[in-house]
Structure 1
Amino acid sequence: MAVFFSSESDTNFETGEYQQFPRSEPEDAAKEKTDKPKFRHLRVVLLSFGLLCVLQAVLNISLRLALSESSDKGETEEDGCPESWLMFGSSCYYISSQRKSWDDSRQYCEQRDADLVIINNRQEQAFLTGFTAAAWVGMTDRAVEGTWIWVDGTPVNKDGLQWAPGQPDGAFGGEDCSDLRTMNDFIGLNDLNCSTRIQWICEKTLF
């Protein structure tokens, strides 16, 4: 700092280095700077959300086109079960809502290129259990009492399937046909008089 004195007067001057103070920015400008990162982040989020919506729309359209193509082809016995039939493994099953005797039930199945169901194991039996309280299956001991065979002539593996408690019992003067029961405390295969009118289960193999 330099100091000047004047001899002609008592006046003195002081000079110093000039210090510039930063100008305070207007409040709106400062707020705008703070808000810019927020808006940038919001734009990124909205853009990502928009892309996800477009991707979802494309996937939905593709799925609908695939389903419509499959329905246009129609369902044939080669690639699926007929309408109202259920698929399990390589077989299709029809559970009736009507009631017929064992012989009439079998005839109904044969007219549809099927037969009364042959139950091969407990897994298949478990699948069929529960659709109805009682339904005919393709099992009989008409040829030899007590020797149960399936409609295709193969012997029944009695130990490999679940029978209802105490069955077969040959009660009421002869029960030569078999049905599948789903009743309280009475679940499994049962022998029954072949003329009894109950529901039935048809089976046809796909291949």
Structure 2
Amino acid sequence: MYFFKVFGIVAITSAINAQFGSGTCRSRLARECSCPPQWQLSGEDCYRLTPSPHTWDDAKSACQDIGGKMAAPRSHEEMNFMADMARELDSKYKAWIACNDKEVEGFWECDGQEGSAPFLGWGSGQPDNGGNIDCATIRKYDGKMDDSHCWKAFRAVCVRRAACTHGLIQIRH
């Protein structure tokens, strides 16, 4: 499918260059993405915190209720974005993310990362499993992952795909 999209873009670019003359104009593929109100754009995804605190299980449902799913960071950059977003709302935040070891103690799984080793950006000394704590948060003081009791109430980081459009734009010399 990717090949056909690229082939179509090349064909359209060639047609535009033939129409306008390749010496005076160039075309390039542009992508514009947007998010609904209250969501923040990063790349091709939109992020938002739940409006109120929830237990970890209820936070998953709360994210669905606002049109997303609980987010699990896939990189340090994404985790930093989530931490910065939460810090803007509350400097003392701790926010749920979609990682847990509920099924097998010590075997952490993150939603959307099945079939591969999950990204786990633990803070120093974490996870410490202090009393069967099976759910992950991003903690306030360093933006790193921390394990916590799933019954505690925190806001959660939610994610959804952004609405993106692709098209060619003309660049004049």
TM-score range, shorter chain: 0.5 to 0.7
Are positions 1:174 and 2:132 aligned together?
yes
Report deviation, 1:118.
1.8
Percent identity, please: 26
On the 8 A contact 1:93/1:203 being kept in 2, the answer is yes
Partners of 1:109 and 1:189 in 2: CA distance = 19
> Residue in 1 aligned with 2:112?
152
Q: By percentage of residues, which structure has more strand?
A: 2
Q: Cα 1:88–1:79, aligned 2, differ >3 Å: closer, same or farther?
A: closer
Q: Give the match for residue 103 of structure 2.
A: 143
Give the alignment partner of residue 34 of structure 2, picking from 72, 75, 80.
80
Letter in 2 for 1:88: S
Post-superposition CA distance 1:16-65 (Å, at most 9, x none):
xxxxxxxxxxxxxxxxxxxxxxxxxxxxxxxxxxxxxxxxxxxxxxxxxx
TM-score, normalisation: structure 1: 0.55
Q: Which digits, 9 at most, give the CA deviation of each residue in 1:50-81, with x for residues without a partner?
A: xxxxxxxxxxxxxxxxxxxxxxxxxxxx9521
Question: Which of 87, 104, 122 is the matching residue for 2:76?
Answer: 122
Let me know the Cα RMSD of the aligned residues: 2.2
Determine which structure has greater relative contact order: mean sequence separation of CA pairs < 8 Å that are 6+ residues apart, divided by chain length: 2
> After TM superposition, what 4+ stretches of structure 1 lie above 4 angstroms from structure 2?
155-158
From the superposition, tell whether residues 85 and 202 of structure 1 become closer, same or farther in structure 2 (CA, over 3 Å): same
Q: Deviations over 1:156-182 (max 9, x none)?
A: 746x543111000110x2111000012
| 8 Å Cα contact 2:50/2:63 also seen in 1 | no
Compare the two structures and name the one with the higher helix fraction: 1
Counterpart contact for 1:114–1:204, Cα < 8 Å: yes
Q: Give the corresponding residue for 2:150.
A: 194
Q: In structure 2, how many angstroms separate the alpha carbons of the residues matched to 1:161 and 1:122? A: 9
* Partner residue in 2 for 1:55: none
- Tell me how far apart the structure 2 counterparts of residues 124 and 83 of structure 1 sit (CA, whole Å): 20
Q: Distance in 2 between matches of 1:157 and 1:135?
A: 22
Q: Is the 8 A contact 2:80 2:143 kept in 1?
A: no
